[in-house]
Amino acid sequence: MGRKTDMVLAVADMAGTVLFAVEGAMAALKGGLDLFGVLVLSFATALGGGVLRDVLIGAGPPTALRDWRYPAMAFAAGGATFAVQVMVGQNPMDQVPMGVMTTLDAAGLSLFAVAGTEKALNRHIPPFSAVLMGTITGVGGGTLRDILLAQVPAILRVDVYATAALLGATVMTGAIRLGIQPRYAALAGGGACFALRMISVWRHWALPTAVGVTG
Amino acid sequence: MGRKTDMVLAVADMAGTVLFAVEGAMAALKGGLDLFGVLVLSFATALGGGVLRDVLIGAGPPTALRDWRYPAMAFAAGGATFAVQVMVGQNPMDQVPMGVMTTLDAAGLSLFAVAGTEKALNRHIPPFSAVLMGTITGVGGGTLRDILLAQVPAILRVDVYATAALLGATVMTGAIRLGIQPRYAALAGGGACFALRMISVWRHWALPTAVGVTG
Amino acid sequence: MGRKTDMVLAVADMAGTVLFAVEGAMAALKGGLDLFGVLVLSFATALGGGVLRDVLIGAGPPTALRDWRYPAMAFAAGGATFAVQVMVGQNPMDQVPMGVMTTLDAAGLSLFAVAGTEKALNRHIPPFSAVLMGTITGVGGGTLRDILLAQVPAILRVDVYATAALLGATVMTGAIRLGIQPRYAALAGGGACFALRMISVWRHWALPTAVGVTG
């Protein structure tokens, strides 16, 4: 990709990391964790998906551990969230309209899903598994966060969230297979993920469950 | 091994994957998860043990991610279980007599334990650890499933289940060390695991606990 | 390091493993797990941190799986704890004064944190991540234990515990970067971890939380 695209991607990646770290910190604060717990959940939520992907594809030390800027950003975002909560006495994000948070989160999810898919494909992981790796990159952090809070991961229970990541990873993998340039494949995949996520929130879509049917 | 043995093994491996995936889907349905959750638990239960083993022995991308047929089978089995539940309105496996389920599950456990042990030994993991890896291959999927359901893993609390896998892995490792051919060592290990599991269910054996004694 | 230092370190490492295994077994007994569960929690608590570190830094099969003496010690310590509980009818460690347990545990934590940091640095993991790896080596086992017990990990909620490991790993990494010999850097790091942990217990220090402030 061109240098300008690279820079845009790097900035987006960092923005996604910061956003997910703040969301992790908010979940930790709601769970009554102390400062260390807040930092751990910021790290886990922001970088857990990528770490899991790198361990699974055997990529050696995960990017999040080789490049100190990623954990540093996650910790800074988590620490700042904690500080604001203590000083201001309320959740700093409560001031942000829900729609803005949802939109930002959907953007972060799309970015992570697409970036994870690309990394797996670059490592010659087969397409089917690359789609799984993209999905895990997108939702692995939130899953780890919920496990650390001793809760059933939200993505397993509700909402069209992981499904959006799965769609984005599938579209991107398919586009690459069709010979489309990576940058356009990424745009298509990210756009599909973002669109499905936003529409599903707007239309209150949820995946089917079998509750009520279960004996 | 001969070509015929290979084919028998491959078929058995796929049958075990499908069976464990169905069991994972049933646990997910009982837990009220949505379709995505059902698919994730099918994958985790069927393939989690092998993935964990491959990550631990440093075998690069786990087999379950390099060969698309494994995740595809797990997802298909989970999706079918979900579909039957929704359409028929009851757990599809409720029609299967308990004894049949227990027998099939014991067979799957034996197979996974033996296959995991063999892979670890082939990778020159020391015998003691190869036994652990075989056990983890057998019970790791169920453990992961329970963690995702925010429950204490069943194998840690009740039953002679992991112990049967441990016995099978130990017998197989011992037999290999004694110079017995892999195919007979596998038969001996798998037979020991299967026998202990079936007898313990039949005789209502359980491992000792210290409950009631604890302060 | 000299041969004598090596021996001291090896003995300390084994002592730490045994101690953490006993603590894991005690937690398992309190949770009502059976014998297998006790053994698994002994292993997870004693060796889980190191296994996690080795997987994360891509060091191939973790040390705990390549050297059979580590799992053997963990299982022996867990089995002995279980046996004493069943025979004597009470938690064997209840006889040990709390202060002694706390001191031993702080020593084990310091040792694990420093050893984990050293291994990461030797593997050319960047300093920032080496500090994380040292901390994970110290507290990863206890975290895994709590996850297996379906509890929010204690280190995320209370106490100056992980923070002490973090301090020790930071001091050691800093000292190495300043050109100080590894053995003295390890002493400084271990000492800092031990001191902070002991002082915080003695003075009832805890990390700040935002509880009561949360909306």
pLDDT tens for each residue of C32-53: 899 999 999 999 999 999 999 9
What average pLDDT does this structure show over C3-21?
80
Contact of C40 with chain B, judged by CB distance below 8 Å, is answered with yes
Average pLDDT of chain A, as a whole number? 89
Q: What local confidence, expressed as pLDDT, does residue C2 receive?
A: 52
Q: Name every residue whose Cβ is closer than 8 Å to that of residue A85 and which is 6 or more positions away in sequence.
A: A29, A91, A92, C210, C213, C214
What average pLDDT does this structure show over B6-13?
74
Q: What local confidence, expressed as pLDDT, does residue A89 receive?
A: 76
Collapsing DSSP to helix, strand or coil, A34 comes out as strand
- The whole-angstrom separation of Cα A20 and Cα A26 is 10
Which of B156, B170, B214 should be substituted to probe chain C, the one whose Cβ sees the most C Cβ atoms within 10 Å? B156
CA distance A96 to chain B (A): 29
Nearest alpha carbon to residue B141 among B170, B167, B162, B126: B162
Chain A residues inside the 8 Å CB shell of B37? 155-157
Question: Model confidence at A136, in pLDDT bands (50, 70, 90)?
Answer: very high
Count Cβ neighbours within 10 Å for each residue of C147-165 and write b for 16 or more, e otherwise: bbbbebbbbbbebbbbbbb
- Look at B178 and A6; give whichever has higher pLDDT: B178
Contact of C59 with chain A, judged by CB distance below 8 Å, is answered with no
What average pLDDT does this structure show over A190-206?
92
Torsion of CA C159, C161, C162, C165, to 10 degrees: 150
- The whole-angstrom separation of Cα C132 and Cα C134 is 5
Chain A residues inside the 8 Å CB shell of C119? none
Quick check: C157 pLDDT over 90?
no
- Cα torsion angle, C123, C128, C129, C135, sign: positive
CA distance B202 to chain A (A): 26
- Look at C214 and B74; give whichever has higher pLDDT: B74
- The whole-angstrom separation of Cα A127 and Cα B66 is 9
Task: Say if the Cβ atoms of C57 and A61 lie within 8 Å.
Answer: yes
What average pLDDT does this structure show over C70-85?
94
Q: What local confidence, expressed as pLDDT, does residue B158 receive?
A: 72
Question: Model confidence at B214, in pLDDT bands (50, 70, 90)?
Answer: very low
CA distance B68 to chain A (A): 6
Quick check: C92 pLDDT over 90?
no
Q: What local confidence, expressed as pLDDT, does residue C72 receive?
A: 93
Quick check: C212 pLDDT over 60?
no
CA distance C99 to chain A (A): 24
- Look at A30 and B90; give whichever has higher pLDDT: A30
Nearest alpha carbon to residue C45 among C137, C116, C141, C138: C141
Query: Which residues of B, range 107-126, sit inside 8 Å of C by Cβ?
Result: 123, 125-126
Give yes or no for a contact between C43 and B131, defined as CB atoms under 8 angstroms apart.
no
Chain B residues inside the 8 Å CB shell of A166? 36
Tell me the C-alpha to C-alpha distance, in Å, between residue A44 and each of A63, A160, C99.
14, 22, 33
- The whole-angstrom separation of Cα B69 and Cα B66 is 9
Quick check: A213 pLDDT over 50?
no
Average pLDDT of chain C, as a whole number? 89
Q: What local confidence, expressed as pLDDT, does residue A97 receive?
A: 81
Chain C residues inside the 8 Å CB shell of B153? 148
Quick check: A111 pLDDT over 80?
yes
Give the DSSP H or E segment for B16: helix B3-30
Tell me the C-alpha to C-alpha distance, in Å, between residue A56 and each of B10, B59, C29, C184.
23, 10, 33, 37
What average pLDDT does this structure show over A136-147?
94
Give yes or no for a contact between C133 and C120, defined as CB atoms under 8 angstroms apart.
yes
Count Cβ neighbours within 10 Å for each residue of A136-169 and write b for 16 or more, e otherwise: bbbbbbbbbbbbbbbebbbbbbebbbbbbbbbbb
Q: What local confidence, expressed as pLDDT, does residue A92 receive?
A: 65
Which of B26, B30, B33, B45 should be substituted to probe chain A, the one whose Cβ sees the most A Cβ atoms within 10 Å? B33
- Look at A208 and B151; give whichever has higher pLDDT: B151
ipTM of the complex: 0.85
Q: Which chains touch A (3 or more CB pairs under 8 A)?
A: B, C
Provide the percentage of residues in chain C whose pLDDT is more than 90: 64
Helix and strand element counts for chain C (H, E): 8, 0
Nearest alpha carbon to residue C79 among C94, C66, C92, C68: C92
Quick check: A10 pLDDT over 50?
yes
What average pLDDT does this structure show over A45-66?
91
Task: Say if the Cβ atoms of C36 and B155 lie within 8 Å.
Answer: yes
Q: What local confidence, expressed as pLDDT, does residue B4 receive?
A: 62
Chain A residues inside the 8 Å CB shell of B149? 152
Task: Say if the Cβ atoms of C33 and B126 lie within 8 Å.
Answer: no
Q: What local confidence, expressed as pLDDT, does residue A38 receive?
A: 94
CA distance B62 to chain A (A): 7
Q: How many CB atoms lie within 10 A of CB A215?
A: 9
Task: Say if the Cβ atoms of A150 and C155 lie within 8 Å.
Answer: no
Lowest mean pLDDT among B61-65, B161-165, B177-181, C45-49: B61-65
- Look at B52 and A6; give whichever has higher pLDDT: B52
- The whole-angstrom separation of Cα C1 and Cα C4 is 8
Q: Copy the structure tokens of residue A114.
A: 């697409």
Give yes or no for a contact between B134 and B168, defined as CB atoms under 8 angstroms apart.
yes
**B124-143 pLDDT tens trace:** 899 999 999 999 999 999 99
Chain B residues inside the 8 Å CB shell of C143? none
Nearest alpha carbon to residue A22 among A100, A79, A107, A99: A79
Which of A55, A65, A90 should be substituted to probe chain C, the one whose Cβ sees the most C Cβ atoms within 10 Å? A65
Q: What local confidence, expressed as pLDDT, does residue B92 receive?
A: 65
- The whole-angstrom separation of Cα A127 and Cα C90 is 56
Q: What local confidence, expressed as pLDDT, does residue C198 receive?
A: 94
What average pLDDT does this structure show over A97-124?
91
Q: What local confidence, expressed as pLDDT, does residue C63 receive?
A: 87
CB-based burial of residue A213 (10 Å sphere; 0-12 exposed, 13-18 middle, 19+ buried)?
Answer: middle
Quick check: B160 pLDDT over 50?
yes
Lowest mean pLDDT among A184-188, B8-12, B80-84, C168-172: B8-12
Question: Model confidence at C1, in pLDDT bands (50, 70, 90)?
Answer: very low
Give yes or no for a contact between C84 and C109, defined as CB atoms under 8 angstroms apart.
no
Q: What local confidence, expressed as pLDDT, does residue A146 receive?
A: 94
Give yes or no for a contact between A62 and A54, defined as CB atoms under 8 angstroms apart.
yes
Question: Model confidence at C11, in pLDDT bands (50, 70, 90)?
Answer: confident
**C180-203 pLDDT tens trace:** 999 899 999 999 999 999 999 998
CA C31-B44-B207 angle, 5° bins: 35
CA distance B58 to chain A (A): 8
Domain range list for chain C: 3-202
Nearest alpha carbon to residue A117 among A200, A175, A196: A175
Task: Say if the Cβ atoms of C65 and B150 lie within 8 Å.
Answer: no
- The whole-angstrom separation of Cα B194 and Cα B172 is 13
- The whole-angstrom separation of Cα A62 and Cα A47 is 10
Give yes or no for a contact between C61 and B56, defined as CB atoms under 8 angstroms apart.
yes
